[in-house]
Amino acid sequence: MESPDRRINNIESLVAKKDFDGAKAELEKVKKGKGGLSVHEGELYYLESLILYGLTRYQEALEKTRRAYEVLKHTSRHRNIAQVQHLLGNIFIAIGNLRQAEVEIRDALASYRRVGDESGMADAQNKLAQIFFIKSEYDRAIQSLNEAIDHVRKIKDHGPMLARAFGNLGRVYLLLGDWNKASKYFHDSIRQNEIVENQTSICRNLLSLGYIAQLQRKFKQAHDYYLKAYGIIQKKGLKREKAIYHEYSGELAKDQRNTGEASHHLSFAIHLGEEIAPQSSLLCQSYRILAQLQVNAGKLDLAESSCQKSLEVSKSLSEKLEEGIVYRVLGEIYVLRNNRKLSLDYFNLSIGHLEKIGSKFELAKTYLEAGNCGVLEPQDALDLLKKAKRIFRELKVNYCLSLTEFALAKAEFQSEDYDRSIEFLNRSENLFKGLKTKDPEAEEKLAEISTFRQILEKVLSEKSLSFENQYNIFKRFLSEVEYKGIQDEGVNRSLEILAKRIQADRGLILLEDGEEKKLSVASAFNPSEDGKTDQIISSLVSHLSDPQFGGEDPTDAGDEFLSLTQPIISTTGESDLFSENGMKIGSLLMIPLKTGEEVKGILYLSRDKNGVLTKSFGQNELNLAVAFADVIGLKLTEIENKKLEEENLRLKEQLQEKSAFSNIITQNSEMLELLWKLSCVKETNLSILLEGETGTGKDLIAKAIHYNSDRKSKKFVAVNCAAFPETLLENELFGQSS
């Protein structure tokens, strides 16, 4: 005949396997043979409460367990007392009374220690770790778990308990952000549980592995883990695990922007949570995720209500992690309500809680949200974003790191440090491009980056033309040799100095060539080989007509010149502006060369994508180039004026030669006498009247007098008197009185 103790062990084993019908049947057998023993009565109360606890009927279980303790507390059955105290601790955890739960578990640990029960002590330490975990006291949780493992290793058949300890360590490291270590412990736990066929524990570990994949935005992998876990849930009828499955699946759907599916899962999770334990961590997490979903939908009043429900439970449980996250969500709500004070208060509360418990990932998310919300001063925002960046880089969460780099670009833009803004923007763009095939939101973020880049580049261009351009008077920024080169030498030297100063790989000065208005190279620094310069010119013509550059689809190169009224900067290191010609340009500047309001040419500078310096041009380089463009424009004007002066001189010399007395060839005595008289009067200030028939050379003689006199450097204006009416001619010749 089977002993009562053996049957009691069988009932405990059946409850552990969730076979509650079998446990009830065995309990009935024990009741029929109890023999009225008071000690057995206490044990029976304990077994009844154990089954009720497994069925999540916590209030009934609590009543039965207290009766069991009242019967056993005055006996010497320390192991049975420890089991009852342990069960009381479990029930108090389930209903959210963590303070009383810790008291009961510590009492159980002391009772197990009296009888040297290593297994019981390991269980008690494991349960203490769970309490510390819920309270977000992760260091204490790890310490308790390590002590539990020490006890477990002293037990002969320690596989199941070791599996549980590994799984719990995994959960602690998950929230600490050490996801590699967490994954290792979860997989170790699954291997141990597979040996003993503990499907419930395998299910929990699969859910946790899915959650890690979800945090890393490996959505398909997370979905696969959840499906595996759900198969076990359905097969075993696991109610608590089902609530966790719906909570995690709801958050996964939220992250994938599937609002309808997320709402469905979260409603189910909340319903199960309220049915199982209205004051458990299950409920506060589900309400918090629901609040985030409602914020995304713009339902701020509902979101705040969900936050308050979550906060009420998390405070009652002393669950600091959830409390800290809820404060972050409330901060987001008050940002959207334009309430700067309350949003800052909630963000600070969130940061304070999360920094204290050391939950890296959630803390970094709060740093990012607070730094990117627009309510902080620029420097304060930058400080928080840099902290977020360090954590995300450490955790290797590239999506969040990309968001942080983008937020830093916007914060530096607000601080007017445009070069730093470009650096962060390029890093963010490169990271998101690497995520395009893995993350559905990457393409959307790239579009946002492109829009912001256009705004940034427009501001850079406007700044370069304003008084904020520190290089407008830049003698102090150049060496004596460089400045002398600009002063004394031509545009070639100026272009060379500029290109080297801003570390450009290539530079061109392009001018309109004649009436055809074609582009030609007036000066070149490091010109392209194999005809590539012509390709650059061709690409410039096509891109100047792009609406992005302010063009209006002109029909010829000259129109494009006229349309370029302000500098153009392209900062992108990936978008190849000249790909159709096989060029590899990483960043470029184009500045109109003006004389007054007229555009005479273009100053072009570029960095090759694979050049010595792959970094984009920034505000400083653009400012210096704009300042140099003014100098080059002046030099071009000087060159043009010099050409006109030389042409004028040449024409004058031709005219003087043509009008000289020695060039008037004649043998007529009267004409020779006239030339002699002219040589006598040419230096006087007297008016000279020339008379003669049409075609006798009066105009030639007049020019000869002018260009052989001391007035030859002044203008000679010929007036056709035949065109004057008589009254006006009289006034012009003899003056008039008023």
> How much is the pLDDT for 654?
61
> How much is the pLDDT for 568?
87
From residue 284, alpha-carbon distances to 11, 236, 361, 482 in Å are: 33, 25, 19, 69
* Residue 527 per-residue DSSP state: P
Using pLDDT thresholds of 50, 70 and 90, give the confidence band for residue 1: very low
Secondary structure (DSSP) of 301-324: HHHHHHHHHHHHHHHHHT-HHHHH
Identify which has the larger pLDDT, 564 or 131: 131
> How much is the pLDDT for 2?
47
> How much is the pLDDT for 270?
93
pLDDT in tens, 448-489: 999 999 999 999 888 887 766 766 555 455 555 555 555 556
Identify which has the larger pLDDT, 111 or 594: 111
Mean pLDDT of 244-249: 96
> How much is the pLDDT for 129?
92
Q: Please give the Cα distance from 391 to 364 (Å, whole number).
A: 6
Q: Where are the alpha helices (DSSP H) in 153-238?
A: 159-176, 179-196, 199-215, 219-236
Residue % of the chain over a pLDDT of 70: 83
Strand 518-525 relative to strand 506-513, pairing:
antiparallel
User: What count of residues does the chain have?
Assistant: 738
Considering the entire predicted model, what is its pTM?
0.65
With 60 as the cut, is the pLDDT of residue 132 above it?
yes
For residue 344, how many other CB atoms are within 10 A of its CB? 18
Mean pLDDT of 707-718: 76
Find the range with the poorest average confidence among 43-52, 152-161, 183-192, 606-615: 606-615
With 60 as the cut, is the pLDDT of residue 544 above it?
no
With 50 as the cut, is the pLDDT of residue 118 above it?
yes
> How much is the pLDDT for 554?
44
Q: Please give the Cα distance from 23 to 26 (Å, whole number).
A: 5
Mean pLDDT of 638-643: 78
Secondary structure (DSSP) of 357-417: HT-HHHHHHHHHHHHHSS-S-HHHHHHHHHHHHHHHHHHT-HHHHHHHHHHHHHHHHHTT-
> How much is the pLDDT for 36?
45
Mean pLDDT of 668-672: 74
Q: Please give the Cα distance from 332 to 298 (Å, whole number).
A: 11
From residue 605, alpha-carbon distances to 459, 495, 498, 575, 711 in Å are: 19, 9, 9, 16, 50
> How much is the pLDDT for 38?
39
pLDDT in tens, 575-593: 444 555 556 778 889 898 8
With 70 as the cut, is the pLDDT of residue 427 above it?
yes
Q: Which of 267-281, 451-465, 631-645 has the highest mean pLDDT?
A: 451-465
Mean pLDDT of 288-307: 95
Phi, psi of 579 (to 5 degrees): -65, -30
Q: Please give the Cα distance from 376 to 354 (Å, whole number).
A: 19
Find the range with the poorest average confidence among 355-359, 444-448, 596-600: 596-600
> How much is the pLDDT for 389?
96
Using pLDDT thresholds of 50, 70 and 90, give the confidence band for residue 306: very high
SS3 217: coil
> How much is the pLDDT for 304?
97
Q: Are 148 and 132 in contact (CB under 8 A)?
A: no
SS3 622: helix
> How much is the pLDDT for 189?
94
pLDDT in tens, 189-213: 999 999 888 899 999 999 999 999 9
With 70 as the cut, is the pLDDT of residue 135 above it?
yes
pLDDT in tens, 380-423: 999 999 999 999 999 888 999 999 999 999 999 999 999 999 99
With 50 as the cut, is the pLDDT of residue 186 above it?
yes
Mean pLDDT of 436-445: 85
Secondary structure (DSSP) of 639-665: HHHHHHHHHHHHHHHHHHHHHSGGG--
> How much is the pLDDT for 557?
45
pLDDT in tens, 480-536: 555 555 555 678 888 888 888 889 988 888 887 665 666 778 888 887 655 566 666
Mean pLDDT of 93-105: 91
pLDDT in tens, 209-231: 999 999 999 999 999 999 999 99
Using pLDDT thresholds of 50, 70 and 90, give the confidence band for residue 157: confident
Identify which has the larger pLDDT, 527 or 165: 165
Mean pLDDT of 270-276: 88
